[in-house]
Structure formats: structure tokens, C-alpha cells
Chains A and B, each alone.
Chain A
């Protein structure tokens, strides 16, 4: 990694505008809400605040897997939707350390051979990822409990570390190095004090995370703990708070489930789309049945849906991929109308298991 360069606040928007990308999404902070906005439409002051604030309440994942997209046309219809995104570069500015790690997970699922997902592969290859350090993690963040840092370590092309009056810009890929080529005049060599300030900022974020999560205690090995607690009372207590809205899976940077649907267009052609789905929804795993017969569903009852989300992330994923399906961004807890906090659930799982002896 080359030495970082310094980018003053006054040059930030010019710098971001000069990056490659047909579409650019950036973190903004507006009225104390963390959002994504198109760079061209964003208020520069809100961009500066956004990149210094906590992560947005929605994950960046729609840049790699839009909530809905067309995946095929057939019958009288012509044109492969894949060709329409072939050269589309989406630049995402403000991807947090947790989300950069989520990309590793999504890559494992969506690029898994022998059959990779062609839409994900194309968007992923074209994407330009600008990471940002979390100078001020949200109260619900818990990356530290999963042993991870609050700044990007993988999967970024460039990374921005917020300073008092600017950002330290670091390259993380060849693509990132190339992009800096024409923007060198906006950057300067950092002072020793600035490098020192980044160290202090990262340390302070880590300390904040340690402090705010001090009461939680995750199992060392989820696979050996989780299955033994599935009958415990703690699950029934948490289930009582769940209204099956699917908010948790929608905001999760790693939830990737989707459903294919076919439809006829007005001109009598056919198209196939896909849309995000959620394991929490009724119908997600429901099969067909002849009229008058109950439709078979292996996870019909609410508890089996509720536990599936945890089982998939903390039991099955470690078995098949060697990593958990969670990066500790805490969005699911923030969005949940029932206040189901994953930290509490997993700490209680740990406790219940210890009580079993």
C-alpha cells in the first residue's frame, strides 16, 4: 500500500467528482439521519458530515444487487439485460469497514463456481469502492465483538480516513491507483501529525466500540453453541418482538436472498425479474400444492423462520464457508420495530449454553 495522501475538505467534492463511475452514490448526513445520495445531487456540507458520521442506515449492497432488476427477456422480447449493465460502473463512496468485509462474503456466495451469478459478477467487476473509516461508530455497531476493525481492510479501491480538516486518501487496488492518476493536484503529502491523528482516530473508535459493547459476550464458537439453545426460552421472548417485517434482512449488507418472477409485457413479450426476498416472509419457502391441500412449507411456523436467520448466519455459514454471515454493522437492530438487538440475542445464546453446562 502506498503512503496515504492528504485531501483537504475544500477539494473533497471535486475529488469525488473526478473519480470514475457512471453513477456515484455517497454517504450524506441530513438532519442527523445517515443516508445514501447521488453525488451530483448532494449538498457538499452533508457529504462532509456523512463521511465523518456513522454508517448509513441502509447498506451499500444495492450497488451490487439492486432490490429489483430485470434478468432475462424471452418470447417476442429482445435484448439481454446483462448487456445493459456490461459497461456500467457504479461508484460507492463511504463503504465502511464492515461492508468491505461483507463484500468478501457476497463474493463467496454469488461468485461461487461452477455457476456464478452473471449480474453480480458484472456489477462487482465494474464497481469502484471508496471506503471510509468510521470515525464515529453508531451506538448499535458491534464489529469489535466479531474481532473486526472499524475501518476498511479489504475490498476497497480507495479509502478515506476523516481528519480535522480533510481526509487521508489511501489506495487499495490497481484500479484505485489509476483513478488517482489525474487527481494528484488535489492531494498533498500528509504531515507526520496527520498520520498520527489517523492512528488516534482509529484507536478512539475502537475504544468507543469496546465501551458500548462491554455488556455483551459472544460465544467463541457459534457452531458448537447455537444448535443447543434452540429450545430455550430466550428465543420465545425474542420471537414475541418480531412482526415478520423483513427489515432486518433488507438492511443487512450480507443478506442476499432473492426471488425470480416472470411477467408478460404490454406488447405480449415476456420478461424475468428478480427482487430481494426475506427468509422472514411467509411464502419464502412455501411450495405448491393441489387445490384444497395445505401448501407444504418446511419452515411454516414463525419460530423456524426467526431462528433460520440466526442459524444461517452463525451456524451454517461457518460450516460451509468458515465465516459468519454477520459483520456487526448493527443495522438490523436499528431498523427492527420490536427492538431485536442481535447483540442481546447472541449474548443470551452464550449465557443459555453456559447454563446448560
Chain B
């Protein structure tokens, strides 16, 4: 980024992939590299409409392109979903935030819990973990969605499940005729752990209500409060701690997060309010 951090970097939209009826992945080539660590986010500009914050879903090790997986859910994302790939210019600013604590996680197990479009930022973490799998012990992926058609990255599941040191499980809240897998909310997958949970970091992203129950379930199971990292949601504007609105207590999700340790935010009463 140049000196004016409000200036979006032009990014050509190379491809739009429909992931689910409501979620698309946008592949972008920014004019200058936007090197990010897993979990850091960018502000994506839909020209003339505005910006919204997204954590890329692609591998942090790919420098010249990035992918962002987006649920259609407001003015910026509605406009983005109208786009088709090729020749369209968007803008990016960033990266912002701290990213996942991948250094602290080294030598530990990592339990990754994703719900709905919450699996998108976690995919960049999974890329990182898979690329550096020797640094980590078990990577345990649990994901779920409201129904089978809203399950994100279904074509990757087989690859993830087949990897060494990786276990994978998936569930849907409401099944349909195409589904012969597990049924239930994602916390129903958080029952049996065949690894040392005290030596495990939990990273979760999904709807706030899900984060709440993932946290409760993990605490009951014996995970340590300072090992539970949650991708919290707040409205963000500037991205670097100036505009004021994304706080949980004294922490600004844009610069201290967006993934924050449960232990740090648990005492602030608006942390989990909707």
C-alpha cells in the first residue's frame, strides 16, 4: 500500500465461481501484491458502492492473486454477486489485522470449526496448515451448514479428509434427498476427541450464535479458554483502528483481530450480543 491507505489498489476480477446458491468465490489479480497471513483481511471495493471487509479464502503463499468467498448479504455483496469474471476492476486495501495465531499453534493440534460461509476464511488457514503440516500435530476439521446446498467447498472435502494428520467431519442442520451424511448443528460434531485437548488450539468462524455454542461446548469439553480463537463479526470501515466502530471492549477487531481469543473478550457484555 502507498502512503494513502484509503486508496484502493486496482484489482482485476479474473473469475467468479458459484459455490452455493448464495455464495460465490471471486478470483482477483491486484495491481500490486497484497501479501497476507492466514486470517488477515482486506477491504474489498465495489466501485461506487463501497467497501466491505473479507478474509481471503485462498492460500497466503500465492502472492499475485487472491480469492475471496462472499455470501450475498447486503449492498456491496449484492452488487458483487451481479458481476461476471473478466475485465471488471474492483479495489482492495490491506491486509489488515493480526491473522490466526499460526506461530503459537506450532507443535499443537488445531481444531477448525466452520459454519456456512464461515468456512471461507478458515480455508486460507487450512491451506497454510497443509503447506506446513510438519509444524503441527492433528488438524481436525469440523464443518456444517444450514442445508446440503449451502455447503461450501464440497469438492475439497475428499482431498482434506484424505490427508495425513488431518481428520474431517461434516454435518447439515436440515438434510434433503441428496444427503446421506450426518444431521445436526456443527457442535454435535464436537463430542469425541482422540487427541490431547489441552494441547489444542480451536479456531472457529461462523454465525455469532454458532461461535457462542462452539465456545461453550469446547469449554465444557476441557479446552483452554485462552486457546479458543473466534472470528468475531463487527462493522468495520477504516480497517486499522481509527474509525472506532469494531470494538469489543477495548479491543478493535480490525487491528487486534479479527480473530480474538475467547479469554480476552469474555468479560465484555456486548461481545456476543446480536
**Is the CB–CB distance between B5 and A118 below 8 Å?**
yes
**Is the CB–CB distance between B247 and A316 below 8 Å?**
yes
**Is the CB–CB distance between A279 and B233 below 8 Å?**
no
Most buried by B among A115, A257, A286, A320: A115
**Is the CB–CB distance between B45 and A262 below 8 Å?**
yes
CB contact under 8 A between A115 and B5, given known A277-B244, A277-B245, A298-B274: yes
- Among B6, B77, B242, B270, point to the contact of A298 (Cβ < 8 A): B270
- Among B50, B208, B245, point to the contact of A296 (Cβ < 8 A): B208
**Is the CB–CB distance between B273 and A261 below 8 Å?**
no
Cα distance A259–B246 in the bound complex, in angstroms: 12
- Among A74, A81, A285, point to the contact of B47 (Cβ < 8 A): A74
Q: Is B87 an interface residue (CB 8 A)?
A: no
What DSSP secondary structure best describes chain A's contact surface?
mixed
Nearest-neighbour CB distance to chain B for A332, whole angstroms, equals 16
> B residues within 8 A CB of A262?
45-51
Q: Is B16 an interface residue (CB 8 A)?
A: no
**Is the CB–CB distance between A117 and B242 below 8 Å?**
yes
Q: Is B52 an interface residue (CB 8 A)?
A: yes
Taking CB as reference atom, which chain B residue is nearest A308?
B270
Q: Is A256 an interface residue (CB 8 A)?
A: yes
Q: Is B7 an interface residue (CB 8 A)?
A: yes
Q: Is A323 an interface residue (CB 8 A)?
A: no
| 1/0 contact string of B239-274 vs chain A (CB within 8 Å) | 011111111111000010000000000000111011
Cα distance A284–B243 in the bound complex, in angstroms: 10
> B residues within 8 A CB of A289?
73-74
Q: Is B14 an interface residue (CB 8 A)?
A: no
Q: Is B192 an interface residue (CB 8 A)?
A: no
What DSSP secondary structure best describes chain B's contact surface?
loop
CB contact under 8 A between A264 and B74, given known A80-B7, A109-B242: no
Q: Is B235 an interface residue (CB 8 A)?
A: yes
CB contact under 8 A between A75 and B245, given known A262-B47, A298-B273: no
Nearest-neighbour CB distance to chain B for A82, whole angstroms, equals 5
| 1/0 contact string of A293-317 vs chain B (CB within 8 Å) | 0101111100010001001100111
Q: Is A216 an interface residue (CB 8 A)?
A: no
CB contact under 8 A between A316 and B250, given known A74-B91, A277-B243: yes
**Is the CB–CB distance between A260 and B75 below 8 Å?**
no
From 45 to 66 in chain B, residues with beta carbon under 8 angstroms from any chain A beta carbon are 45-52
Q: Is B166 an interface residue (CB 8 A)?
A: no
> A residues within 8 A CB of B74?
287-290
Q: Is B3 an interface residue (CB 8 A)?
A: yes
> A residues within 8 A CB of B273?
298-300, 304
Cα distance A284–B255 in the bound complex, in angstroms: 18
Most buried by A among B4, B8, B52, B89: B4
Q: Is A336 an interface residue (CB 8 A)?
A: no
Q: Is A215 an interface residue (CB 8 A)?
A: no
Taking CB as reference atom, which chain B residue is nearest A317?
B250
Cα distance A288–B73 in the bound complex, in angstroms: 6
From 1 to 30 in chain B, residues with beta carbon under 8 angstroms from any chain A beta carbon are 3-8, 10, 22
Taking CB as reference atom, which chain B residue is nearest A319?
B250
Most buried by A among B3, B75, B235, B249: B235
Taking CB as reference atom, which chain B residue is nearest A65?
B242
Taking CB as reference atom, which chain B residue is nearest A286?
B235
Q: Is A112 an interface residue (CB 8 A)?
A: yes
**Is the CB–CB distance between A110 and B242 below 8 Å?**
yes
CB contact under 8 A between A259 and B52, given known A75-B89, A80-B7: no
**Is the CB–CB distance between B52 and A72 below 8 Å?**
no
> A residues within 8 A CB of B47?
74-75, 262, 264, 270
**Is the CB–CB distance between B242 and A74 below 8 Å?**
no
> B residues within 8 A CB of A117?
5, 238, 242
List 17 interface pairs A-B (beta carbons < 8 Å), by A numbering. Answer: A82-B3, A110-B242, A115-B241, A256-B242, A256-B244, A258-B237, A258-B238, A262-B51, A284-B235, A284-B245, A286-B235, A288-B75, A290-B22, A290-B74, A298-B274, A299-B273, A320-B250
Binding site for A on B (CB under 8 A): 3-8, 10, 22, 45-52, 71-77, 89, 91, 208, 233-235, 237-238, 240-250, 255, 269-271, 273-274
Q: Given contacts A262-B49, A270-B47, A298-B274, could you give 14 more A-B pairs where the C-beta distance is less than 8 Å? A: A74-B7, A74-B45, A82-B3, A115-B241, A257-B243, A258-B243, A259-B237, A279-B244, A286-B235, A287-B235, A288-B76, A296-B233, A298-B270, A304-B270
